[in-house]
Amino acid sequence: MYRDTLGLLGPALPVVSFLARLPTAMCQLGSLLLVAATSGSLTTAGLAGGALAAGQTCAGPVIGRLADRRGQRRVVLVASAANAVAVAALVLAALAHVGTGWLVLLGALAGTTVPQAGPLARTRSVALARGAGADDRLVGAVLSFEGTLDEVSFVLGPALVGLAAAFAHPAAALLVAAGLLAVFGTAFALHPSAEAARGRPAPAVPPSAPEGRTPPGAPTDAVARSLPRGTTLTGAAERGRLPRSAYVLRIAMTLQGAMFGASQAGITAFTEELGAPAQAGLVYAAMGVMSAAVGFSMTAVPARIGPATRWRAATAGLVVLSVPLLLVDSLGALYAVVTLLGAAYAPHLITVFGLTERTVPSARLAESMAFLTSGIVGGQALALALSGRLADGHGAPAAFAVAVAAAALCAALSWVVDPLAPARRPLPAGPRPARRA
């Protein structure tokens, strides 16, 4: 199945998109380490890092919407150049020991200009698959592949920053990130696949297919599937109201981010209690490696297991595998529990991205994918701040309890909401009925 995926995407797009999204994974930790090293203040570092996360969370959906409306090429070109300049400016300002206000402002600018390579690459890949008449199984393989690239970048990015901090200076890592943005962000923008991601009018609904399957050429959004056979949507209708499930999926992804943040706080606190703080990054990396491996194998799930069932199973896995975090009492147990928990992360992420692709209008897909990614970033930042305080006052189990609560809320959402429920039907294209006198 992945052979078909690579044949569809070509050899260049995955490499370029991976190197374009890697700087995003480097900048969050890199900015914290850089500002902490140059200012000597963890508070200042937290403010700058928080501003970067807030900027990315708020601006991500805006960049996604601009890409939907204006096309990815121009938007990514401008954002990549602006982001490279902003990251370089943050490095220079930190090395020059400027005031906290300037560091926060530049951190916010670095977050606001993130080019959203991950969500936009996912949008392109899905558009290429749908345009080639791929069935849901191949689209699922494409999403699994993109999810694996995300997971690898999440693991590799912080690892590169850590190596740079250990053997040189955090500034070196951020300057490398700025260079990657300038080179590969531009290459990603100019890649021919940018034209494939433009929103297309939904086609007519073809004859019905088995439940949980979408025949090739069928509309992939719930609004279009809710119309009578043979009806098409106007451009305005397709860009209109999102189904309620789209907003619920955004909440679920924010809760997933909260699990990341709470787990990170708990792991850091627990390793510090054991007198082995250097192990925190390795534990978190082990979880990421497991998540990437399981995500890569998601294509083996039988097609007869529908997306709603997959979502419920994934959230149940989050709950079952997160509860043991409350019971860890040694470094070995922490490694084992956190690594196993990683096996539940990728299935949930990939399933939520897949459900979003099926339920939102194609003309709003980039915006919706960016919302999901921003939800992860925002949820992680908020949970990290809350869980860090809880861990300081009550120990690592208090931070892990936040992760378990987030998992439980995800599971509750998956059972009370139908993720494939259609939105309110818009008026089909055609003459409007005459008004009564």
Q: How confident is the model at residue 92 (pLDDT cuts 50, 70, 90)?
A: very high
Cα-Cα-Cα-Cα torsion 416, 248, 341, 333, nearest 10 degrees, comes to -80
pLDDT in tens, 160-188: 887 787 788 889 989 999 999 999 999 99
HSE-CB at 158 with a 13 A cutoff on CA atoms is 17
Query: How many C-beta neighbours within 10 Å does residue 437 have?
Result: 3
pLDDT in tens, 11-27: 888 899 999 999 988 88
pLDDT score of 50: 83
User: Is residue 7 predicted with pLDDT exceeding 70?
Assistant: yes
**Reported pTM:** 0.74
DSSP state of 185: I
pLDDT score of 197: 63
Per-residue tokens: 257: 């981010």
Q: Are 239 and 202 in contact (CB under 8 A)?
A: no
Per-residue tokens: 224: 């279009």
The residue with greater pLDDT, 148 or 174, is: 174
User: Is residue 223 predicted with pLDDT exceeding 80?
Assistant: no
pLDDT score of 319: 95
pLDDT score of 204: 36
Mean of pLDDT over the chain: 80
pLDDT score of 260: 86
Concatenating the DSSP letter of every residue in 108-147 gives HHHHHT---HHHHHHHHHHHHHHHTT--HHHHHHHHHHHH
- CA distances in angstroms from 197 to 209, 216, 391, 433, listed in the order given: 25, 17, 44, 35
Instruction: Identify the top-confidence range among 121-130, 183-192, 288-297, 342-351.
Output: 183-192
pLDDT score of 393: 83
User: Is residue 229 predicted with pLDDT exceeding 60?
Assistant: no
* Residues 375-401, mean pLDDT to the nearest whole number: 85
pLDDT score of 214: 43
* Residues 48-52, mean pLDDT to the nearest whole number: 86
pLDDT score of 115: 92
The residue with greater pLDDT, 132 or 414, is: 414
* Residues 317-342, mean pLDDT to the nearest whole number: 93
- CA distances in angstroms from 309 to 192, 219, 303, 324, listed in the order given: 36, 21, 11, 24
Query: How many C-beta neighbours within 10 Å does residue 434 have?
Result: 6
- CA distances in angstroms from 371 to 30, 154, 241, listed in the order given: 23, 18, 15
Could you give the CA distance from residue 50 to residue 425 in angstroms, rounded to a whole number? 40
* Residues 225-249, mean pLDDT to the nearest whole number: 59
Q: How many residues are listed for the chain in this entry? A: 437
Per-residue tokens: 18: 């991976």
| Three-point CA angle 20, 23, 26, nearest 5° | 155
Segment among 25-34, 56-65, 344-353, 424-433 with least mean pLDDT: 424-433
* Residues 30-37, mean pLDDT to the nearest whole number: 84
Could you give the CA distance from residue 42 to residue 48 in angstroms, rounded to a whole number? 10
Could you give the CA distance from residue 169 to residue 333 in angstroms, rounded to a whole number? 33
